[in-house]
Structure 1
Amino acid sequence: MNPMIYLINKTTFQQYEDITVNIKPERLNVFIKKAQDLDLKPFLGHAFYYDFLTYFNEDGSLKDETPQHYKNLLNGAKYLDQYGHIILYEGLTPTLVYFTFARFIENDAIHYTPTGPVIKHHENGDPLSASAIVKLVQQQRSTANAHANEVEKFLWENKENFPLWRYNQKNNSARQAGPRIRGIDKTDFNYPGTYNNYNLSITEFLN
């Protein structure tokens, strides 16, 4: 069996969110794996995702022979869109970070006991209410989806470099499995050709 490749780690994570240093990397890796398998893979498509992984070393670093367009996809780049506007693309990393963070918050609040799951209690503070946890998780998913929209735009604008990427409308709803509170942003970027009527931006909203 091939070893699991983690595209981000605790150090990467801390560039975006202030998480306690006491969180063990192996615990965070559990949620990174879930985000990669259940959020990123459906979003990119399986063929594209697995081809992307072939350019990573086991420690999560990019191989020397990685094409520049794959490096740009992960790390971000400055490029011109079809209208000649300069776009500052942040890369795929923040999308994965915030999908991971949402899953971490959602699961870290629960402790599994022999008699069933319970809300954790902490010595240095009171646990958040279930509704507050749900709202916080939704906020992180909304942030992840906002970054994912930028990834989609980058892929459309540079689609000649990513022949394995196929847009599937289900990819947007597949960013998070299970029932979610969602809203559809009807923004139309008016792309030419076969995706002229494609509504690129999918966001979540809070009631």
Structure 2
Amino acid sequence: MNIINQTTFQRFEDISLNIKPERLNVFISKAQELDLKPFLGYALYFDLLKHFNDDGTLKDDAPQPYKDLINGTEYLDKRGYIVLYQGLGPLMVYFTFARFIEDDAVHYTATGPVIKQRESGNSLTAADITKLVEQQRSTANAYANEAERFLRDHQSDFPLWSYNPKNKSARQAGPRIRGVDKTERTPFRSDEFNCLSPV
């Protein structure tokens, strides 16, 4: 079950009405599983899904903190400042949009993957598509930072959520360093190389 739909998109992005909802739902599901679930953590994510109806709407008896997390709310932070939190909708829209742009550039045919030619315009270059995807991910990450702030400010309402610093680096576009080789190396000695020895 998806927690956003095509109507949610129309509040944040101008996408063609010709895009079939079932096609968009494929990318919403991917963003939910691959972006939202790691961000919220498995425990909170699966508990949150329990409070949704089959049509993707929150149940009436869902806890108020979950309604606020999904739909957004206005609240005072710990320093007394008013915060307007917009909910998980925009975060999901832009993660989904990034995945849609990236995957929609390639179409799979009986003879293999192709880049479709447009009759009414030119297809974007791979570099332009990459730039667009990075822009959408950057926007999604900005909304993810807001959601993270909301969760931190309401930690007592979300005991299943725990901050994971790896989530921030995992959300960034482009290649990621997942580990560093800590093998012991022999210290470098300049006298081993003639080109580095004093003349």
TM norm structure 1: 0.82
Task: Give yes or no for the alignment of 1:9 onto 2:2.
Answer: no
Task: Give yes or no for the alignment of 1:137 onto 2:169.
Answer: no
Aligned to 2:66: 70
Aligned to 1:88: 84
Task: Give yes or no for the alignment of 1:118 onto 2:78.
Answer: no
Residues 30/177 of structure 1: CA separation in 2 closer, same or farther (3 Å cut): farther
Deviations 1:18-48 (A, max 9, x none): 1111100000000000000000000100011
Aligned residues: 177
Q: Would you say the 8 A contact 1:48–1:164 is kept in 2?
A: yes
Aligned to 1:30: 26
1:115 deviation in Å?
A: 3.6
SS in 1 for 2:12: coil
Aligned to 1:158: 154
How many angstroms apart in 1 are the aligned matches of 2:168 and 2:55? 29
SS in 1 for 2:114: strand
Gaps of 5+ in 1: 182-207
Q: Would you say the 8 A contact 1:69–1:161 is kept in 2?
A: yes
Q: Would you say the 8 A contact 2:51–2:58 is kept in 1?
A: yes
1:174 deviation in Å?
A: 2.8
More helix as a share of residues? 2
How many angstroms apart in 1 are the aligned matches of 2:143 and 2:132? 17
SS in 1 for 2:8: helix
Q: Aligned partner of 2:84: which letter? A: L
Matched residues, percent identical?
A: 67
2:46 counterpart (46, 50, 53): 50
1:178 deviation in Å?
A: 6.9
1:121 deviation in Å?
A: 1.0
**Greater Rg over alpha carbons, structure:** 2
How many angstroms apart in 1 are the aligned matches of 2:93 and 2:44? 19
Q: Any runs of at least 4 consecutive aligned residues in structure 1 with deviations exceeding 4 A, and if so which?
A: none
How many angstroms apart in 1 are the aligned matches of 2:134 and 2:112? 24
